Structure 1
Amino acid sequence: MMTLLVLVIIFAIFALNFFSKKQNATSNIGESFSLIDQNGNMFFSKNTKKKKLIYFGYTYCPDICPMDVLKISKLFDDNPNLYKELLPIFISIDPERDRPETLKDFIQNFNSAFIALTGSNNQINQIIKDYRIYVKLNKKNNSDLSYLVDHSSLIFLMDENDNFITFFRTGDLFMKKIDPFLKKIL
C-alpha cells in the first residue's frame, strides 16, 4: 500500500511538472530587439510603449507577404484608434536584399503607421530563433539574387514590454481572430 502511495505521488509530481512546462511554453516567444528602420534609423522595440503587431516577410515576395501586409494595413485603416495603442511592424527575413531603402519603397505602398525593419544576418537569425519562425532561403548558389524564401506566415501580438500575448495565422480568418484582442486594446 505504501509503495502504491509513493508511486501515485511521484506520478502526480511528474504530471504537474509536465503540464506546467507545457502551459508556459509560449511565454518565451520573442525578445526585445534593435534593428534598422526604413529610414536608416535605429529602432529599439523596448523604447516603444505600445503593443506591437509583428509580421515577418520579405520585400521580394511575389504574393503572400504583400497580401498579409495589406490585411494589417486594412486593420489600421478600418480602426484609426489603433494607432494610439498598437504599432504594426514588418521585419525582413531577407537582410541580404532588404536594405532600408528597399523597405522604404515597399512599405510606402501600405499604411503609413508601419515600421519596416532589417538588420545584419546575425540579428535577423537571432530574431527568427526568438520568435520560432521557419525560414528557408531557396538559393541555387551564393550569387543568386532571384531566390524565393519559404517562411512561416504568422502575425505576433506583443505587449508594451515585448512579452508575447498571442499569434495569428494570416489566412482568411485573421480579422475575425484578432477582433476580441482589439476590443481589449480599444
Structure 2
Amino acid sequence: MESAENAALVVVDVQRGFDESGFWGVRNNPGADGNIAALIDVWQSAGRPVVFVRHDSVRADSPLRAGSAGNGFKAYVQERRGKGAGPELLVTKTVNSAFLGTPDLGAWLTASGIGQIVLAGIQTNMCVETTARMGGNLGFDVIVAYDATYTFDLVGPFGWRLGADELGRAAAVSLHGGGFARVVTTAEVLAGVRG
C-alpha cells in the first residue's frame, strides 16, 4: 500500500465513554485499541502529522457528553498526545464528520499540503465512515485501517438488528466498493509507512 510521506493519521473519537458496554452493547474488533496505538506510535516516531478528534456530545444521556469523564480520550491515546515529532491537531465536533469540527480539518490539511489521510477509531459505521465519505467527497485520498476501528450492535427500522461485525463489514464494503476510501488492514498501513 502506498503511503504519502506527509499522510495524516486521523484518530477518531477514541474516548473513555465507549468503554461503557452497558450503554453501547456488544462491540467487534477486540484488537482495535492495540492497532490504534501502533499506528499512533509509528506516525509519531516518523514525524508525520496526527489529528486527534474528540466527540463532544450534546446529548444529556451520552457517555461522550462534554464535561463528563467519558468525554476524555482513552488513557493510551491521552498519554501519546504531544509526544510526536510532527505536527499535531485536536479537532472537536458535535456531529459525525471530523470535517465539520473545530478547527476546520479540511482547511488545516490543505494549508499543510496534506492530500492523504489514514483513519482509525470509533465507530466504524458512524464517525469513521462519515469522515471517510466526506473526505473522499472533498478530494482527499482516504485510507481506512479497518481493524483499527470498531463498532457496536445496532437496532434500526422495522426492528432490524445488525451485529457489530455485520455493520463493520457493511461500512467497509460501502466505503471501498463505493470509491470513498481504500479499506485495508493496520499491517498494510504500517508496511506502507515503514517502506
Give me the TM-score of the superposition, normalised by structure 1. 0.38
Larger Rg belongs to: 1
TM-score normalised to the size of structure 2? Answer: 0.37
